[in-house]
Amino acid sequence: METKEEIQGNITIKRRTPLILNCLILSIGNCGGPLIMRLYFIHGGKRVWLSAWLQTSGWPVILIPLAITYFRRRATDPATKLFYMKTRLFIAAAIVGVLTGLDDYLYAYGVARLPVSTSSLIIATQLAFTAGFAFLLVKQKFSYYSINAVVLLTTGAGVLAMHTRSDKPAHESSREYMMGFVMTLGAAALYGLILPLVELTYKKSRQEISYTLVMEIQMIMCLLATVFCTLGMLINKDFQAIPREARNFELGDAKYYQVVVWSAIIWQCFFLGAIGVIFCASSLLSGILIALLLPATEILAVIFFQEKFQAEKGVALGLSLWGFVSYFYGEMKENKKKKLAAPETLMAPSNNP
């Protein structure tokens, strides 16, 4: 027979395993997405709406795990539902999906005009927006350690901002560069709102939130975001331009289509990982993890695109790691307090006869 400590340990492992898995999925998307998008623009790609569309067009991939979970449920319960999502939750996911489509466009516009290192550091400011909106919408409680993490990670982004002028591409005007800067900042602010909105959707759903339901929410969000961007592509006539752009792509038309396909897959990892982390923990942790991965994206940009790695980037890397350690140290202390409080709760005298 298992002791209380063993039961508690098993529960902790069950909770941490999906969190770690979603953190890994988010890491792949967060680091790979900006790099492959910038690769597209560097070698001749010019369609901003297409790049925005690719960020969510990989949503059919989610049908695979959904189908697997459905058939597993059906094996034990033939009357099981095909989808868990109710109308109320569908409407909320659709609204967030449209906002995500707009955010995709703002971000793609910024990446088209800015180096990866610059666009990534601006996106890192979404942590401050996430913290603010999480406090307003879902009453996120802040500890000393989480506040410290937000301050350190935001400071790291500010340190990186010191070198943005030297990063302006030679072929771009100051106006184009500033437009890219403003659009990327807008994307950071909007995504800082989207993360707490997703958490609020979970809390107000009036139905039990399982990971299967989380995938359904992700699918609807990405579907509506893709529809939004599809309208933009139709108006901008991007679909007709794809064959011509593929022929003129510097790496060849075969590589062009590979970049397009892998963009859709890698970006889907980002969105699925982000809402998975919210489900397993909170929107604040999702925002902190996205900000933490900024230095990794910076280093990869230096390796693959030969971007400069100034001293400011090294300082930002240290601040980001410090902030991440601060957050998780606080979480460990909080979990330790809960474990110590649990036996006291169990030993408390009952008023029932």
Give, in order, the Cα–Cα distances in Å from 54 to each of 35, 92, 129, 323.
13, 22, 25, 32
Q: Which residue has the tokens 């390796």?
A: 303
Q: CA–CA separation, 191 vs 275, rounded Å?
A: 12
Closest C-alpha among 187, 211, 193 to residue 65: 211
Q: Which amino acid does the sequence have at 248?
A: N
Rg (CA), the chain: 22
Q: Determine how many CB atoms are found less than 10 A away from the CB of residue 262.
A: 15
pLDDT tens by residue, the chain, 353 residues: 555 454 455 545 556 788 888 889 989 998 899 899 989 998 989 999 999 999 999 899 889 889 988 898 888 888 888 888 888 999 999 999 999 999 999 999 998 888 887 787 778 777 778 878 888 888 777 778 778 877 887 787 677 666 655 566 667 777 887 888 889 989 999 988 998 998 898 888 878 888 888 889 989 999 999 999 999 999 999 999 999 999 999 999 999 999 999 999 999 898 888 888 888 887 677 777 877 787 778 778 778 877 666 677 677 777 777 877 777 777 677 767 766 765 554 444 444 44
pLDDT tens track for 206-257: 788 888 888 899 899 999 999 999 999 999 999 999 999 999 999 999 999 9
The first and second tokens of residue 338, run together, are 């809960």
For residue 351, give the DSSP letter.
Answer: S
Helix (H, G, I), strand (E, B) or coil at 111: helix
Q: CA–CA separation, 202 vs 89, rounded Å?
A: 8
Residue 258 belongs to what H/E stretch?
helix 253-280
Q: CA–CA separation, 259 vs 245, rounded Å?
A: 13
